[in-house]
Structure 1
Amino acid sequence: MRTIIEGMAGELAGVPGVVGVVLGGSRARGEHRPESDWDLGVYYRGDLDLDALRALAGPGVEVAGPGDWGPWVNGGAWLTVDEVPVDWILRDLDRVERIWADCRAGRYEVGVQAGHPLGFWSPCYPGELALGQVLADPGGELTRLRDELGGYPEPLRAALTAGTWEADFLLAGAAKGAARADTLYVALCLSRAVGVLVQALYADARRWCLNEKGAFDVAAALPGAPAGFGPRARALLAAPGATPEELTATVAAARTLVDDTVTALRASAG
């Protein structure tokens, strides 16, 4: 299958507008299972020849153009090759480079994107390339950018760890929702607060966090996580409660978890 994927990457790189192709996801990191998808990041500049992409994808495969899947996951296609899912994911290389410059300056964005319940965190763009495997790169641009990524930017680490203020803000709102037994609002606040902590723990460890999938378990095992982070957060998210009393107790426990995480992050930073 690897040979087929490499051949496909070479064909994609020949499409007008395509700069190169990168293998991403669990396959690139060596963390895949036999049934795992093959994720191909198709990096392009300017106008992209969608007709050529559609011809390459073959009949019956819908190819979504830039913006069709939302503002951050630009577009792409879902294919099946030898009964194995293969995903093409479009990436605007000019935008990736702008986001990388932001990350080096300690700036990041969180955008609304279908399929990303905690939002799309912009450092994912350079992170995908840093953790990916370049399969096709005729002009050498992706290889040069990947080499430039190097280590995790310290300004980004500082910005994401400082972003734990949002978790405190969310819990202040959740406390009011708990008093009204507003379970949906409290649950949303709790899940996002934990997500913010996960991002901070990844950044503290100087690791790229690409999306929500599996991120919690990784964060819970990181050296900078406070004692019992995993079980405590799971308990909050699994059963926040239904009554004002139950919800209020859950929010109080969440506040303690946030405080302990912030303390651990400060200690890690020295």
Structure 2
Amino acid sequence: MVEIADRLADVGGVVGVCLGGSRARGAHSPDSDYDLGLYYRPPLDIGALRLLAAELTGEPVEVTEPGGWGPWVDGGAWLTVDGHRVDWIYRDLDRVHRVWEQCLAGRFEIGAQPGHPLGVYSHSYAGELAVGRVLADPGGELRTLRERTAHYPEPLRRALVDNARWEAPFILTGARKGAARGDSFHVAGCLFRAVGVLVHALHAHDGQWVLNEKGAVRAAGELAVAPTEFAARAHALFSALGPAPAALDDAERLAAEVITAVHDTAGD
């Protein structure tokens, strides 16, 4: 992948390339994708990317313009190179810098994005660099930013914990109203959102980045601060979706335990 990354770095607009996902963490299987983050500044030479993609795969490949996949995962391409799946994923580097400044100030936002049912938490941009592996970085900018993101910001940690303290009980109250109406769709959405908020709080308490929903509940359950059998209990909430009061009772107990476990980071 280093050779591909070096060639990508020669494309106009590309500042550097970072390996992400399970392969960067060393948690991959033999058939795992190679996720390559293309950190760029406009204008990005899409024509050159298309030519390189066709050369690597031996056939024309759809390579999007920036914004082609949505507002947060804002474009790229899916390739198969020598039998391996290789994903190019755009990242506007100036936006990454702005998000990092927000993290330092204890601010975050959640954006709608296809493929991310919980939404994209803005600080995942910083987390991607923190846990990723820089493959190409001619100017050294990615490595410098990666060194900064290695230290989880205390203001962000407090913000995510504080958010869980009010949002989890609030949304579960809304779920009870949906259950009273027999609105299983609304109840399921509330439960999913509540668990997601708790997962982010647990990770923040431990200074660990959450990049997306995949595997996040399991990872949260492995943290020292997590309530007993957190992952199993969280997954059990979705085993029989419906407006069942018992599931909401379980969800409220789980939320209370997480809030108690992380309350010391809220500045009380």
Q: TM-score normalized by structure 1? A: 0.94
Extract unaligned runs of 5+ from structure 2.
none
Does structure 2 conserve the Cα–Cα contact (< 8 Å) formed by 1:225 and 1:261?
A: yes
The residue type equivalent to 2:45 in the other structure is D
Distance, in Å, in 1 between the alignment partners of 2:186 and 2:101 is 35
Distance, in Å, in 1 between the alignment partners of 2:153 and 2:240 is 37
Q: CA deviation at 1:252?
A: 2.0
Q: How does 1:1-270 map to 2 (within 5 A)?
A: 5-58=1-54, 59-164=59-164, 165-242=166-243, 247-267=244-264
Does structure 1 conserve the Cα–Cα contact (< 8 Å) formed by 2:217 and 2:234?
A: no
Q: CA deviation at 1:148?
A: 2.1
Q: CA deviation at 1:267?
A: 4.8
Q: CA deviation at 1:9?
A: 0.4
Per-residue CA deviation, residues 132-176 of structure 1 (Å, 9 max, x unaligned), is: 111111111111111222311000000011111211111111001
Q: CA deviation at 1:202?
A: 0.6
Does structure 1 conserve the Cα–Cα contact (< 8 Å) formed by 2:161 and 2:265?
A: no
Q: CA deviation at 1:268?
A: 6.8
SS at match of 1:237: coil
The residue type equivalent to 1:9 in the other structure is A
More off after superposition, 259-268 vs 114-123:
259-268
Distance, in Å, in 2 between the alignment partners of 1:203 and 1:120 is 16
Q: CA deviation at 1:46?
A: 1.9
SS at match of 2:5: helix
Per-residue CA deviation, residues 16-42 of structure 1 (Å, 9 max, x unaligned), is: 111010111111111110000001000
Q: TM-score normalized by structure 2? A: 0.95
Extract unaligned runs of 5+ from structure 1.
none
More off after superposition, 14-23 vs 253-262:
253-262
Distance, in Å, in 2 between the alignment partners of 1:230 and 1:68 is 35
Any runs of at least 4 consecutive aligned residues in structure 1 with deviations exceeding 3 A, and if so which? 267-270
SS at match of 1:176: helix
Taking only the aligned residue pairs, the percentage that are identical comes to 58
Q: CA deviation at 1:260?
A: 1.1
More off after superposition, 117-126 vs 223-232:
223-232
SS at match of 1:19: strand
Per-residue CA deviation, residues 173-216 of structure 1 (Å, 9 max, x unaligned), is: 10011011111110110011001100111111100100111111
Q: CA deviation at 1:81?
A: 0.9
Does structure 1 conserve the Cα–Cα contact (< 8 Å) formed by 2:107 and 2:159?
A: yes
Distance, in Å, in 2 between the alignment partners of 1:160 and 1:128 is 18
The residue type equivalent to 2:46 in the other structure is L
SS at match of 2:237: helix
SS at match of 1:115: coil
Distance, in Å, in 1 between the alignment partners of 2:206 and 2:239 is 26
Count of aligned pairs between the two proteins: 262
Q: CA deviation at 1:117?
A: 0.6
